[in-house]
Amino acid sequence: MEPQVLYADDVVLVVFKPAGLLAAPGGGGAEARPHVPGLLSPTWGPLWVVQRLDRDAAGVLLLARTPQVRRALGRALDAGRVQRVFHALVRGNPPWAQRDLTWPLRVNVGRRKRTVVAARGGRPAHTVVRVLERFGSHALVEAQPRTHRRHQVRVHLYAAGHPVAGDPLYGPGPLPEDPLPGLALLARHLRFPHPLTGQEVRVRAPDPPGWAQALDALRWEKALVDRETAS
């Protein structure tokens, strides 16, 4: 469960974080668990996480190698110039091809620290979602968060009636019909302005273990269903 370096220079590091690994040290006794900066700092020196990524999700993670660069990237993030695109395998067949999800969100609610839709007291949140492929029982969607609330993609898809497959916090967790054993959420693309040159840097995450096989299995099942329906 080691992070894979995808891009590196003197001030920035982009890695692929596998599912199950903490992106950064956390509270509640999580400090002793392995996390990305702790695993990489013996080789790369001190690191600061710019955008967090849920422990159960996999994908691209941006880190700064100095506090000054962390602040610069933080300003770019607040200005909307640091962008991530997620791929999610969701349950069901969305009736839309593309949709703007704009429910306001309130974070850290209750004992499980969930994020909830809250018309009163919620902070503005915006996720653009687009269906990439339909399988009948599931769909592959692209989600672009325009704001950065905790668990935003997961909560917005859950509120839209199509939770991420395998989500134990905003759904029942993995079900027998799900083709993956865990949370089917991948931070697929990252785009950001380099803090020194201003030039745009783009990084794409590789497939996590089992991802391509799961999609192929869903395609095969859909082909069988379509054939039986047509006959």
Q: Which domains does the chain have, with CATH numbers?
A: 4-230 (3.30.2350.10)
Q: Is 207 an active-site residue?
A: no
Spot the catalytic one: 54, 56, 167, 178: 54
144-178 pLDDT per residue, tens: 999 999 999 999 999 999 999 999 999 889 999 99
pLDDT of residue 31: 55
Q: What is the pLDDT of residue 46?
A: 97
In three state form, how does the secondary structure of the chain look?
Answer: CCCEEEEECCCEEEEEECCCCECCCCCCCHHHCCEHHHHHHHHHCCCEECCCCCCCCEEEEEEECCHHHHHHHHHHHHCCCCEEEEEEEEECCCCCCEEEECCCEEEEECCCCEEEECCCCCECCCEEEEEEEECCCEEEEEEEECCCCCCHHHHHHHHCCCCECCCCCCCCCCCCCCCCCCCCEEEEEEEEECCCCCCEEEEECCCCCCHHHHHHHHHHHHHHHHHHHHC
Q: What is the pLDDT of residue 229?
A: 77
